[in-house]
Amino acid sequence: MIYKPDAHTETAIVEVKARLSAIREVRDALVQLVKLLVEFSEKRAYLVLIDSRISISSLEQELKDFKAAIRSDVANRLYLVTVCDGEIKRIPPGIAQSDLELLRQQVEAFSGSRYLLPRQDMQSEVLRVLLHQWILGKEPMKSNWLAKTVGCSYRTVVAMIEKLGPAVDRLSDRRVQLKYFPKEVWSQFLVVSQKARATIRYMDCSGQPRSPESLVRRLQRMDRMDLAIGGVFGAKWHFQELDIVSAPRLDICIHCLEKNIDLQFVQKLDPALRSTRDPYIPVSLALHFIRRKESFFVSDSGNIWADPVECLADLYESRLDQQASQFEAFLSERGDILNGKY
């Protein structure tokens, strides 16, 4: 993959990194910038660290050691900038005003369009994969396959299997599968589902909100394979007999493997949407982040659909308890049938 910095002008190159916690990550970013500085001998390069978890003294020492190991003509054009709470804290001495303005623009753009995801809840990802495979009647799985699919450690898989207890069938060849819908563990997941899936909710600020159906049409025109329709629309695609006439909001599942993600597409869906943390405010849009290696999205009828487990979680999060219970019963029965219980 060809490396592309966050900004590249006639005089400067800028790379923005957020929440780095390891010196190795800083060093890797510096190496990428040096490659461009060698190619563009008249430009300056800036590594901007937003809310870094590494101490300033460690960063300064790393930059000093790094510069000592490269050519002086390149080292003199390489700079490190730190940002905390949206404010530039460490400005290189003698920086050109045009470069400073570019840095501020990049920090503002990053802060306004990107969302920094919290630490991933790996065990809940394992639960949802196990449930997804059981609902679709898939073959028993090896724990190593589960770990690879989720992107977690073997120990995390084992911990969730132990938590599920009698709901898991452990075969002689060490493969596992669910025996039935694990209602107790699923209920525990629902309590923390918004946090586990890093849900972001958007309210309409125009006073004339677009209908969820119109947002679906706009999403379809974006032609993005990493955005899937969930919630009521997704549940009705999986189960056409779901007892509901219209959707109160649009739920979108986003497949992402990075710690931070660009959310500019939300403004393209509807510029009047603004995020809110108030759980009592009705919202027009809810985003949920799928962070495992496999998304389990399905393409059909010109749309990308979220898997049934995510759609079920969406219904519960929307407080559509009656429809969620109906959909859960349907999925539970289908899982029983496809896994030979009846």
- What's residue 243's pLDDT? 95
What domains, with CATH codes, occur in the chain? 7-116 (3.40.50), 117-342 (no CATH)
Q: Report percent pLDDT > 70 for the chain.
A: 97
pLDDT digits (tens, 9 = 90+) for 274-319: 888 888 899 999 999 999 999 999 999 889 999 999 999 999 999 9
Contacts of 2 (CB under 8 A, 6+ apart): none
> Which carries the bigger pLDDT value, residue 108 or residue 257?
257
For residues 129 and 292, the answer to whether their CB atoms sit within 8 Å is yes
Q: Assign residue 269 a region (left: φ > 0; alpha: ψ between -120 and 50; beta: otherwise).
A: alpha
108 vs 61, residue with greater confidence: 61
Strands, DSSP E only, in 24-182?
Answer: 44-50, 78-84, 87-90, 114-116, 141-142, 168-170, 175-178
Report, as an integer, the average pLDDT of 261-281.
Answer: 87
Q: What is the DSSP string of 175-197?
A: EEEESS--HHHHHHHHHTHHHHT
Of the candidates 199, 320, 211, 322, the one whose C-alpha atom is nearest the C-alpha of residue 252 is: 199
Strands of 7-8's sheet in order across: 7-8, 12-18, 44-50, 78-84, 87-90
Residue scoring higher pLDDT (282 or 112):
282
69, 78 Cβ separation under 8 angstroms: no
Q: What pLDDT does residue 324 have?
A: 97
- Does the pTM surpass 0.75? The reply is no
Q: How does pLDDT run across 26-52, given as a tens digit for each residue?
A: 999 999 999 999 999 999 999 999 888
Give the model's pLDDT for residue 342: 67
End-to-end CA distance of the chain: give it in Å, rounded.
50
| Bridge partners of residue 8, in order along the sequence | 13
